[in-house]
């Protein structure tokens, strides 16, 4: 089955700096890669996603890149703010008769004011 590895497990940055989280996946058939943000006491919420036919996608301060050949994808947050502090999960999705979603282990991001 699919295996998703995520690094780093914890990340501390100063407010205004950039943060980068990296994930690798094992199944080359995975074709959709969402990123979720989970705040304390809440369920994960989708913040950005990328499909396998796209190399990069940007939404304001958040961007995601995908390298299908190397089977890795990354989340980039620029101009970080204290409200960006949360746990971030990457996921790899295999779409066939139904969607099969495999999550990474999570990155706890702390933005220091």
Partner 1 sequence: EAGVAQSPRYKIIEKRQSVAFWCNPISGHATLYWYQQILGQGPKLLIQFQNNGVVDDSQLPKDRFSAERLKGVDSTLKIQPAKLEDSAVYLCASSLVGQLNTEAFFGQGTRLTVV
Q: Does 18 bind partner 1 (CB under 8 A)?
A: no
Element (H, E) at 108: strand 107-112
Shortest reach from residue 9's CB to partner 1, in Å: 8
Separation in Å, CA 69 to CA 24, 26, 84: 11, 11, 30
The window from 14-22, 46-54, 55-63, 71-79 that contacts partner 1 (CB under 8 A) reads: 46-54
- The span from the CA of 73 to the CA of 51, in Å, is 11
Q: Kindly list the residues in this chain that would bind partner 1 in the complex (CB under 8 A).
A: 4, 6, 31-32, 34, 36, 41-46, 49, 51, 89, 93, 95, 97-106
């Amino acid at each position: 089955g699919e295996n998703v590895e995520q690094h780093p497990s914890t990340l501390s940055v100063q407010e205004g700096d950039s943060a980068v989280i990296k994930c690798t996946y094992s199944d080359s058939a995975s074709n959709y890669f969402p990123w979720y943000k989970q705040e304390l006491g809440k369920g994960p919420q989708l913040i950005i996603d990328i499909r396998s036919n796209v190399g990069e996608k940007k939404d304001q301060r958040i961007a995601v890149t995908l390298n299908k050949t190397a089977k890795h994808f990354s989340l980039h947050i620029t101009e970080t703010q204290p409200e960006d502090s949360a746990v971030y999960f990457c996921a790899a999705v295999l779409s066939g008769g139904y969607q099969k979603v495999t999550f990474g282990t999570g990155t706890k991001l702390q933005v220091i004011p």
